[in-house]
Structures are given as structure tokens and as C-alpha cells.
């Protein structure tokens, strides 16, 4: 396994140094893999809950799901149970990274299940968002949003990885003409973060089962991702009332955009 753009949060690692290294990777390259981040047993419990709630996760529903790409969509997840455990929803190292790059007032803008269905093709290269596409100044600005992706299955050449053009968040212009230079393999328990401005694409899922990833958007307090108009019943951030009320005031502020479900 290549160690490019990877940091470890194993129990024996210096987490302060790991956070600093992750921040440096994100600033320079726009992407970092966080290995040994989440306890595998806890993540397996979360995966079992999510799978039980969404047995038809591979079936597209444009009215309820987010996703303009063939073979991919994001299903809203209700935050409760194992998903409401901070060690899964927003591990401390991730919160520290986000606070450094987005300010301490950052928000959890969305939490969903990003699914690549069996046979999903390679995506086209894209950026998740861009503030000033016509003016061409985004590469000069600080980050405004970060993706936090937690795979529930191994992401490899068979199931499909995510490919990145490192440093493209600091480069103006259209899609790079060169081949991507990073496509990391991830095991459950690891996660990946990237700057919303970086060019990337999901690679093909060549297996006969879906590839589910818990996908969260973390943003500065003034930036909000707009829901697609066709997804009339899409709710990008949902939390049960009991889970919301169990959090302290700081967590509730992070989740202030959530729809609270009874």
C-alpha cells in the first residue's frame, strides 16, 4: 500500500502530529487518507444498521436522492444509533482538521450514503463545488468546504476507488488533461478527506454488489450546498430528536442545519 497522502491515527501514533500532517496534505494537495481512524467493530455496527435500513440502496430514486452521475447517488441518512456516535459521525481528528481549515465555527452541512451501484462506470472528472467559476479566483482562496468519506466496504480496483488530481484545488481552469495521480485503496476503519475544489472522480464499481460510503460535507458557516431541483424529497441532514438532544451545545451548533425527526 502506497503511503502517499496517508496519515495514521492508530493508538500508538502521535495524533497531534498526524492532524498537523493531514492539514498540510490538504493545503498542499487537496486530499488526505486518514488510516486507523474508526474502530472497525463500531463501524461494522453502523454498517449493519445502515444496510438494514436501506436494503434497496442500489435502486436510484431521483426524487429522494442526490446524484447527477450515472450509477451513483447519495441517500439521506438519519443520524441516530451507531451513526450518532461521535467516533463515527465526526471523529476528534476530523473535527480538529476542519476547525483548522474552515474555522472553529464550521458546520456539518450534510450526511448521506454515497452509493456506487454494481457496474457503475468511471465518473467524469469534476469539482464538488466552486465559488467563482467565471472569475477564476477560487484557487487563491482558503477552503470553504471539505468532504469526509468513510467507506463501509473495501475500496480497491474491483469495487472502485476515488481518483484525484493532487494540487488541482490550487489551479485555475478546466478539467486536467493528464491522468489522475492518486487513487488510494481504503479498508473499513480508514477515511478520506478532500477539499471541495479538487478535481476528482469515482472509478468504476466492477463488483456485483453496491459500494456504500458514508459521505459528509463540512463547511464554513456561511456556505451551504444547494439541493438539486429534481430531488424534491431530498433531506441532506437528518437527525433523530433523541440523538440531537443527547449532544451538547457545541455539537448542536455544528448540526444546526439538520432536520430533526421525531
Chain segment 128-137, per-residue pLDDT in tens:
999 998 888 9
- Three cell numbers, residue 57: 440502496
Q: What is the pTM of this model?
A: 0.96
C-alpha 222/C-alpha 164 separation (Å) is 26
Average pLDDT over residues 67-95: 94
**CA neighbours closer than 13 Å in the CB half-sphere of residue 147:** 27
Judged against a pLDDT cut of 90, whether residue 174 lies above it is answered with no
pLDDT at position 1 is 43
First CA to last CA distance, the chain: 44
CB 150 within 8 A of CB 43: yes
Asked if 27 contacts 80 with a C-beta cutoff of 8 angstroms, the reply is: no
pLDDT confidence band for 3 (50 / 70 / 90): low
Given a cut of 80, is residue 62 above it in pLDDT? Answer: no
The listed range with the strongest mean pLDDT (103-117, 121-135, 164-178) is 103-117
Q: How many angstroms separate the CA atoms of 195 and 127, rounded?
A: 9
Contact call for residues 123 and 199 (beta carbons, < 8 A): no
* Among the listed residues 212, 232, 262, the one whose alpha carbon sits nearest the alpha carbon of residue 56: 212
The average confidence (pLDDT) of the chain is: 94
2-11, 157-166, 237-246: range with lowest mean pLDDT: 2-11
Q: Which CATH class is domain 6-234?
A: mainly beta
38-52, 60-74, 131-145, 189-203: which range is least confident on average?
60-74
Burial of 2 (0-12, 13-18, 19+ CB in 10 A): exposed
Do residues 172 and 199 make contact, with C-beta atoms less than 8 angstroms apart? no
**For residue range 186-235, what is the model confidence (pLDDT) as tens digits?**
999 999 999 999 999 999 999 999 999 999 999 999 999 987 777 777 88
Amino acid at each position: 500500500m502506497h503511503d502517499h497522502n496517508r496519515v495514521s491515527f492508530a493508538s500508538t501514533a502521535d495524533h497531534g502530529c498526524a492532524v498537523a500532517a493531514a492539514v498540510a496534505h490538504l493545503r498542499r494537495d487537496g486530499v488526505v487518507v486518514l488510516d486507523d481512524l474508526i474502530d472497525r467493530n463500531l463501524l461494522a455496527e453502523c454498517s449493519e444498521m445502515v444496510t438494514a435500513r436501506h436494503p434497496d440502496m442500489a435502486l436510484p430514486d431521483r426524487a429522494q436522492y442526490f446524484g447527477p452521475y450515472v450509477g451513483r447517488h447519495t441517500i439521506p441518512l438519519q443520524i441516530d444509533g451507531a451513526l450518532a456516535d461521535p467516533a463515527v459521525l465526526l471523529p476528534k481528528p476530523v473535527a480538529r482538521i476542519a476547525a483548522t481549515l474552515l474555522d472553529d465555527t464550521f458546520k456539518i452541512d450534510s450526511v448521506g450514503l454515497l452509493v456506487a451501484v454494481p457496474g457503475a462506470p468511471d465518473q467524469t472528472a469534476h469539482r464538488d463545488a466552486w465559488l467563482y467559476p467565471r472569475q477564476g479566483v477560487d484557487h487563491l482562496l482558503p477552503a470553504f468546504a471539505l468532504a469526509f468519506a468513510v467507506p463501509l466496504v473495501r475500496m480497491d480496483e474491483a469495487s472502485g476507488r476515488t481518483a484525484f488530481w493532487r494540487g488541482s484545488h490550487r489551479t485555475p481552469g478546466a478539467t486536467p488533461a493528464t491522468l489522475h495521480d492518486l487513487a488510494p485503496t481504503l479498508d473499513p476503519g480508514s477515511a478520506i478527506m478532500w477539499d471541495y475544489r479538487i478535481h476528482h472522480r469515482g472509478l468504476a464499481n466492477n463488483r456485483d454488489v453496491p459500494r456504500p460510503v458514508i459521505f459528509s460535507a463540512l463547511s464554513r458557516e456561511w456556505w451551504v450546498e444547494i439541493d438539486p431541483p429534481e430531488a424534491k424529497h431530498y433531506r441532506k441532514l437528518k437527525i433523530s430528536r433523541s440523538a440531537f438532544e443527547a449532544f451538547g451545545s457545541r455539537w448542536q451548533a455544528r448540526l444546526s442545519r439538520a432536520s430533526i425527526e421525531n
